[in-house]
Structure 1
Amino acid sequence: MTDVTIRSLNKTFGALEIIPDFNLNVPDGSFTVLVGPSGCGKSTLLRMIAGLEQPTRGSIAIGGTDVTYEEPSKRGISMVFQSYALFPHMTVGQNIDFGMRIAKVPKAEREKKVAYAAGVLKLENLLDRKPSALSGGQRQRVAIGRSIVRDPKVFL
């Protein structure tokens, strides 16, 4: 993992200011939790860090490099969405493997990473199941597994 620095970040939608002048430094290796009421901008902030939304002004740096206007794929970030975003026609193992397969990671390396993630997340016995056969917590762990096998610099 690596540090994330946010300086004077602002997000507006029309005349509505969602995130006013936000500053944050998350040191390398630390764990930070954002809390607040529904609609206060937590998801919008995460989407800006991931590059899925642009701030109105301010900057986002990852590992000391300004990534404010960098493409999401070049930020080294992995994000788990609240809805899990799992492919219903794929098994747990295929869902975890999907991004690596698209990135053309060699099969042996993919299998090793899927097995590791499944072990850490206690999914070993579920690898052949489809998401519809899983509980909400199990689906969340599959989504986390799909993210961690990418070895991201930052995990959201």
Structure 2
Amino acid sequence: MYQLKHKQFVPTDLETCWDFFSSPNNLKKITPSYMGFHVKNEIPEKMYEGLMIEYTVTPMLNIPMNWITEITKVEHLSYFVDEQRKGPYKIWHHEHHFRKVEGGVEMEDILSYVIPFGIFGKIAHALFVKSKVKEIFEFRNKKVLEIFGV
């Protein structure tokens, strides 16, 4: 299993930060456009435990992939968890934590994932998956600072 941890300071209050990130409709805003992110099902303004989100992404070679995630845990103003139910990973468990700090919010992501295909998956991770996942978080980091200002 691979794990990526990412922390970011968001210069806003906890409620505003939570409202933005707990809305599934904002996911596209913080995803690189080249990923071709497109939600396929109707989604509510606010997430809740058990919410299933179906979407397509085109992470490599413009090949669309279907992905379904479930919001498995929500603790208001504190954290939420999404897990892949169908998609390219064998396991995808993504925790989003929010903590009030002086001057804003510390947001921490803990992403744990397993790539299928044994040794071929390990090679793919080393060659491009690891860097692609980091690139997506770096993009999100920049977009969040644009949205909330610095």
TM range (shorter): under 0.3
TM-score, normalized by length of structure 1? 0.25
TM-score, normalized by length of structure 2? 0.26
Q: Please identify the structure whose Cα radius of gyration is greater.
A: 1
